[in-house]
């Protein structure tokens, strides 16, 4: 468990360094919308969305796994 925590903190630290070094304003276009914001903010938002989606998918898989184990038990 300590290895996973260390790797997670290392990746988070590297992400923060990467985000802080790329703080220039970027323009994001999606369909009809155009948005100009800091590259650091954009990367932070995308990283956060990725973490949340990964956490939700992991939770769904855990719930499914628990259900199948419960159904298999006599």
Residues 8-57: tens digit of each pLDDT:
899 889 888 887 888 789 898 989 989 898 888 888 888 889 989 999 99
Question: What pTM was estimated for this model as a whole?
Answer: 0.63
Classify the phi-psi angles of 31: left when phi > 0, otherwise alpha if psi is within -120 to 50, otherwise beta: left
What CA–CA distance (Å, rounded) separates 7 from 57? 20
């Amino acid at each position: 468990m300590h290895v996973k925590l260390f790797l997670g903190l290392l990746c988070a630290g590297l992400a923060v360094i990467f985000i802080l070094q790329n703080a220039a304003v970027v323009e994001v276009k999606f369909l009809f919308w155009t948005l100009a914001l800091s590259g650091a903010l954009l990367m932070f938002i995308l990283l956060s969305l990725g973490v949340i989606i990964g956490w939700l998918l992991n939770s769904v898989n855990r719930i499914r796994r628990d259900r199948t184990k419960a159904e298999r038990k006599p």
